[in-house]
């Protein structure tokens, strides 16, 4: 999978204490954990906030796996979560307004060394969709960038299917995670139809909007990737008025 990340000149600030934000700042809290259920909280993980002006600020998770940090408001940020021996997790651009209180929770897994790259008869290399392996893919909608984290990838005609990652020696799975703006969707499976421009999440779907509001459950959710709105909004499938 191809990912494009811009190199920045960085300034790193470490934060492990709960911030007391000034009026022109906003706060972001959350957790880093490893499944299965109940999840194991990860202490000492680095949650890196990369601002659009090139400044990096890093929060370190505490012993309970939680983090909280105060950041300059009115800026756009991406997030990179990393910890020794665990897969890195990325979150695309989101806006932190002054006074906002956002929350993002991250799930990851220990790194397994599996070579998913195979060669077809013509010599071209591509991922072997039969081997589960944590991976991320970036999707460009008209106004936003979406990151899909998944375990199994398959493609047929105009449709790409992302499936959850089976956890070895366990009956559980790491769900497919779709991140965009302040939203986080998790589900058993995600299908992207390039012809219709629709992303559909199916099975045990949860929706977190980045606020302190409770997570919403649904059986199916869609995103219309070709919408020209500045902020994509997930719709439950029964809300698709006029759509088949």
State pLDDT tens for residues 23-55.
789 999 999 999 877 889 999 999 999 999 999
DSSP for 153-213, written as a single string: EEEETTEEEEE-EEPTTSS-EE-EEEEETTEEEEESEEEEETTTTEEEEEEEEEEE-SSSS
**Confidence (pLDDT) at 65:** 97
Nearest alpha carbon to residue 110 among 164, 40, 49, 192: 40
- In angstroms, how far is CA 168 from the centroid of its own chain? 22
| Torsion sign (Cα): 128, 130, 135, 137 | positive
Q: How far apart are the C-alpha atoms of 138 and 172, rounded to whole Å?
A: 25
- In angstroms, how far is CA 216 from the centroid of its own chain? 17
CATH of 1-111, one of 2.30.30.40, 3.40.50.2300, 1.20.58.390, 2.60.130.10: 2.60.130.10
Give kind and range of the element (H or E) at residue 69.
Answer: strand 66-72
pTM value is: 0.83
**Confidence (pLDDT) at 145:** 93
**Confidence (pLDDT) at 125:** 55
Q: How far apart are the C-alpha atoms of 185 and 208, rounded to whole Å?
A: 7
Q: How far apart are the C-alpha atoms of 237 and 244, rounded to whole Å?
A: 10
Contact between 150 and 164 (Cβ < 8 Å): yes
**Confidence (pLDDT) at 244:** 36
- Residue 90, token pair as written in the block: 């990325």
**Architecture of the domain spanning 131-244:** Sandwich (2.60)
36 cis-preceded (ω within 30 degrees of 0): yes
Q: Where in the chain is the domain with CATH 2.60.130.10?
A: 1-111
User: Which ranges of the chain have pLDDT less than 50?
Assistant: 1-18, 241-244
- Mean pLDDT, the chain, whole residue set: 84
In angstroms, what CA-CA distances link 73 with 26, 40, 231?
A: 5, 31, 18
Q: Where in the chain is the domain with CATH 2.60.450?
A: 131-244
56-60 vs 14-15, strand pairing mode: parallel
Nearest alpha carbon to residue 50 among 14, 4, 92: 92
Contact between 200 and 219 (Cβ < 8 Å): no
Nearest alpha carbon to residue 102 among 13, 181, 10: 181
């Amino acid at each position: 999978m191809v990912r494009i990340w811009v190199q920045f000149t960085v300034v790193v600030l470490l934060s492990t204490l709960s911030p007391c934000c000034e009026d022109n700042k906003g706060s972001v809290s959350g957790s880093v954990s490893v499944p299965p259920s109940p999840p194991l909280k990860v202490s000492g993980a680095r949650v890196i906030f990369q601002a659009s002006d090139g400044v990096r600020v890093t929060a370190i998770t505490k012993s309970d796996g939680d983090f909280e940090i105060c950041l300059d408001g009115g800026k756009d940020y991406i997030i990179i979560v990393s910890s020794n021996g665990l897969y890195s997790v990325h979150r695309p651009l989101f806006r932190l307004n002054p006074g906002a209180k956002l929350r993002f929770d991250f799930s990851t897994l220990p790194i397994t060394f599996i070579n998913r790259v195979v060669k077809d008869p013509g010599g071209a290399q591509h991922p072997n969709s039969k081997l589960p392996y944590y991976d991320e893919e970036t999707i460009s909608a008209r106004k936003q960038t979406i990151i899909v984290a998944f375990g199994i990838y398959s493609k047929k005609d105009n449709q790409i299917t992302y499936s959850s990652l089976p956890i070895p020696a366990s009956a559980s799975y790491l769900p497919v995670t779709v991140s965009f703006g302040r939203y986080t969707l998790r589900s058993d499976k995600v299908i992207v139809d390039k012809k219709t421009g629709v992303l559909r999440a199916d099975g045990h779907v949860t929706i977190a909007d980045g606020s302190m509001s409770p997570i919403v459950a649904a059986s199916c959710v869609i995103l219309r990737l070709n919408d020209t709105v500045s902020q994509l909004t997930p719709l439950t499938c029964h809300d698709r008025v006029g759509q088949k």
